[in-house]
Amino acid sequence: MALQCGIVGLPNVGKSTLFNCLSNAKAQAANFPFCTIEPNVGVITVPDERLNKLAELVHPQRILPTTVEIVDIAGLVKGASKGEGLGNKFLANIRETDAIIHVLRCFDDDNVTHVDGSINPVRDKEIIDSELQLKDLETVEQRIQKVYKQAQTGDAHAKTLHNVLIQYKAALEEGKSARSVEFESLDEIDAAKDLFLLTNKPVMYVCNVDEDSASKGNKHVEAVREAVKDEHAEILIVAAKTESEIAELETYEERQMFLADVGLEESGVSRLIKSAYSLLDLQTYFTAGEVEVRAWTFHKGWKAPQCAGVIHTDFEKGFIRAEVIKYEDFIKYGSETAVREAGKMGVEGKEYLVQDGDIMHFRFNV
């Protein structure tokens, strides 16, 4: 399930530093714009304490966490929608991702040049938003021209799509993102999804701060909170430079001591990965046995056969039933056998909606 979050932002806001913390694939981090031209892709392990607790009970031969892909996309600049800088290529890279992690510089440092000469994360956000909106407006206007004639012939789908495009056009012309438009009918919602607009992707704002602001934020973070209060978007505070220092420490104990010293219970990178996973609307189920304890990724709202297909397509094709243990019950009783004896194992059919944290065993026949 290769879903990707793209890290975007202006040059020199800390995107590549953050990506380096997230991934073993080292993006070049330098004090000049455009040091990252080809997008770097990192396959990132999703931290999940539940996996470790299951392993402590089962004692498997191996533990396999789930992953998410993060793409480091080169810094956008004003005029990118018209091809300025390397705009067309960067926008194409964003279009290929499923969600956006928007990094905003919220720290003062005279040694790190800002492309616009001053620190103003709200202005930076508006520059990126504007470029993405302008590109979406161009896309929408082109589609309106193509769809209008079809709509005039009475084609029902074309009429629905035309109505969706008109609403998007109005919002984008007002300087609003496509995600601000809400549709009532399922037909409109489906038509909107098929457009793959840049500003319709789910977004999370990451405020890159200095070490002293890592736990509580600062005036720049507060300005961002105020600017995005109506967007229903998550805001994370991360000190990328500090996170890079933590990443260099060799042992878990050393990293925990470092975090305690700066007043944090969990690293910003760990919080970011979890949030990126959630941003993609992903959840986790587990399989647990002597050979391995493993986390599997599925889309929220998937039914048991679809989740079985994540392991192997034959599991979905020949699905018979799923034996389900709730995570809390497994931890409480300590083993699959004890859960069975307590009558806490569920036997579910094809309509079962798998829940985050379920421990699954699929029965199938091919």
Measured in whole angstroms, the distance separating CA 8 from the mean position of its chain's CA atoms is 12
Q: Which residues are annotated as a binding site for ATP?
A: 12-17
Asked if 108 contacts 150 with a C-beta cutoff of 8 angstroms, the reply is no
Q: State the DSSP string of 226-282.
A: HHTTTTT-EEEEE-HHHHHHHHT--SHHHHHHHHHHTT-SS-HHHHHHHHHHHHTTE
Q: How many CB atoms lie within 10 A of CB 272?
A: 25
Name beta bridge partners: 288: 293
Give the Cα separation of 26 and 34 in Å (integer): 15
Q: How many CB atoms lie within 10 A of CB 151?
A: 18
Distances (CA, A) of 67 to 162, 211, 280, 322: 38, 28, 12, 24
Asked if 340 contacts 323 with a C-beta cutoff of 8 angstroms, the reply is no
Q: Which helix (H) or strand (E) holds 288?
A: strand 282-288
Q: Which residues are annotated as a binding site?
A: 12-17
- Which residues have CB under 8 Å from 332's CB, separation 6+? none
What's 76's DSSP letter? P
Measured in whole angstroms, the distance separating CA 275 from the mean position of its chain's CA atoms is 6
